[in-house]
Amino acid sequence: MLLREVGYARPGSLGEAIELLAADDGARALAGGQTLINVMKARAGSPDALVDLGRIEELKGIELGADGTLEIGAMTTYTEIIESSEARARPILGAVCAQIADVQVRNRGTIGGNICTSDPTNHLPPLLAALHAEMTIQSSDGTRTVPAADFFLGVYMTAVGPGELLTKIKLPAGRNDGFAAVTLGVEGTCIVSAAASANGSLTIALGCVDAVPVVLAPDSAEDDAIRTAVRAADLDPPSDVHASRAYRRHLAEVLAVRAARQAQGS
Amino acid sequence: MVSTEQTISVTINGTTYERDVEARKLLIHFIRDDLDLTGSHVGCDTGNCGACSVIVDGQLVKSCMMLAVQADGSNVETVEGLADGEQLSKLQQSFRDHHALQCGYCTPGMLMSATALLRSNPHPSEDEIKKGLQGNICRCTGYWNIFEAVKAASE
């Protein structure tokens, strides 16, 4: 038996889930479990209770608005996004989800879990930051929306507070996006990642170089302007066994340019 | 209702089992230890190796990254369900014909991943076969014979 003793509940509605989470400081939401269950095995986290969101229909599904806006339920899996015809309105989303881990993980892992983990090496935090996503957070007091730029607060920390749940992610219309990463093996964890959106002015978001995605707005979409913007950010990424600080700084420039070129279709 | 133990009902390879389980029990341990279906293996216990892969409600999952209570009401398929009595499935026979295993430890997971792949995509490209097996690690074969076996079974 690997996990510490833990309580478990599987509410059928969003209201019930929020009530259960608010009632117990030691309770944590269980989404796809592809991070949390491993964290619990390693005892890096030991919640007293798990509130399983797996059977709450309100948290699933993808809706495409008439204006091209996508609304994605927090419990939508990577596989559902990859296979969704609605999600193709923003093609980069499925393309990046298809690069996450492997079939088994994509079948269980969710978009909400990916961003609420706020692991700097995850794919979706920089992508959603570049795409100007907006997160809907619900509690017993009502709902609020938080732009991606304010959602990620630190490593493993987001704007979702005690008694709150991320319920959906909203993406504005747009097709001119890009993503580039250097990973640990094909489709492994990111060493450095960059996402770009060129719908209107160019936005770049860099991953794995700080606790949260670093969002940049270069003066122009030219390669030189992008490199200048990355340098001006004065990044101070950590060194680890996979890459030194200097190499990560180098990769950030290269990948920002690659992502921007993809976004601009060149 | 939050509780540390629940009664669950899971159908595995067509047989329904009702058991009391602790919430902290992983699905792989429920399958192996409680039900004595030891075909599915525990390799790494960290979600990396795929030896514990099973199919839950039609979806390939790693059963060490799912709690048994999460499978309540589900239909689970394990490697024991592939053969029809003594008659191996086409894929299993292909593994045998192509010498797609050496120590055999990863084989149950490889078979379940390849079964899920061929169900959703009966004639995968070479690249699709490789991607379909990406979540499964083998330390003996160098993967080539496994790849050949899946390819032959898809023809």
> Mean per-residue pLDDT for A173-184?
96
* pLDDT at residue A77 in the model: 98
Distance from CA of A16 to the nearest CA of B (A): 10
Which residues in chain B (31-90) have CB-CB distances under 8 A to chain A? 45-47, 50, 53, 59-62, 64-67, 69-70, 72
Question: Do B124 and A103 meet the contact criterion of CB atoms below 8 Å apart?
Answer: no
Asked if A189 contacts A175 with a C-beta cutoff of 8 angstroms, the reply is no
Placement of tokens 């419990």 in the chain: A75
Model confidence at A169: pLDDT above 90: yes
Q: Does B106 touch chain A (CB under 8 A)?
A: no
Task: Name the residue facing B61 among A1, A38, A104 (closest C-beta).
Answer: A104
Q: What is the pLDDT confidence band of residue A188, given thresholds at 50, 70 and 90?
A: confident
Model confidence pLDDT, tens digit, residues B118-137: 999 999 999 999 999 999 99
Please give the Cα distance from A191 to A189 (Å, whole number).
Answer: 7
pLDDT band at B91 (very low <50, low <70, confident <90, very high): very high
B1 — pLDDT class (breaks 50, 70, 90): confident
pLDDT at A185: 86
Residue A264 scores a pLDDT above 70: yes
CA distance B78 to B55: 7
Helix (H) or strand (E) holding A222: none
Q: What is the pLDDT of residues A12-34, one digit of tens each?
A: 999 999 999 999 999 999 999 99
Q: What's the mean pLDDT when you consider all of chain B?
A: 97
Q: How far apart are the CA of A3 and the nearest CA of chain B, in angstroms?
A: 6
pLDDT at position A153, please?
98
Cβ count within 10 A of residue A144: 12
Residue ranges and CATH numbers for the domains of chain B are 5-78 (3.10.20.30), 90-153 (1.10.150.120)
Rounded CA gap, A134 and A236, in Å?
A: 27
CB-count exposure of residue B126 (10 Å: 0-12, 13-18, 19+): exposed
Asked whether B76 and B12 are in contact (CB, 8 A), the reply is yes
At B84, the pLDDT band (50, 70, 90 cuts) reads very high
Give CA–CA dist A49/A80, Å, rounded: 27
How close, in Å, is residue A31 to chain B by CA atoms? 11
pLDDT > 70? residue B7: yes
Q: Residue B148 has which token pair?
A: 């050949």
Residues in chain A: 266
- With an 8 Å Cβ cutoff, is A43 touching chain B? no
Instruction: With cut-offs at 50, 70 and 90, classify the pLDDT of residue A1.
Output: low
For chain B, how big is the Rg over CA atoms in Å? 16
A41 part of contact set with chain B, CB < 8 Å: yes
Give the SS3 label for residue A196.
strand
Q: Over the stretch A27-61, which tens digit does the pLDDT of each residue have?
A: 999 999 999 999 999 999 999 999 999 999 999 99
Question: Percent of chain A scored above 90 by pLDDT?
Answer: 97
Q: What is the strand order of the sheet A70-73 is part of?
A: A62-64, A70-73, A165-171, A134-139, A142-147
- Per-residue pLDDT tens digits for A81-121: 999 999 999 999 999 999 999 999 999 999 999 999 999 99
The pLDDT, as a whole number, for residue A222 is 96
| Residue A241 in contact with partner chain B when CB distance is under 8 A | no
CB contact set of B29 (below 8 Å; sequence gap of 6+)? A1, B42, B68
How many residues are recorded in chain B?
155
Instruction: From chain B, pick out residues whose CB is under 8 angstroms from the CB of A101.
Output: 135
Mean pLDDT of A59-82: 98
Report the pLDDT value the prediction gives residue A225, as an integer from 0 to 100: 98
Domains, chain A, with CATH or none: 7-52 (3.30.43.10), 57-171 (3.30.465.10), 177-263 (3.30.390.50)
Compute the distance between CA of residue A208 and CA of residue B19 in angstroms, rounded to an integer.
Answer: 44
- What gap in Å lies between CA B121 and CA B125, rounded to an integer? 9
DSSP annotation string for A69-90: -EEEETT-BHHHHHH-TGGGGS
Q: Sign of torsion, CA B53 B55 B60 B61?
A: negative
pLDDT at A266 over 80: no
**CA angle, residues B113, B19, A8, in degrees to nearest 5:** 80
The full 3-state SS of B7-40, as one line of letters, equals EEEEEECCEEEEEEEECCCEHHHHHHHHCCCCCC
The answer, yes or no, to whether residue B19 has pLDDT greater than 60, is yes
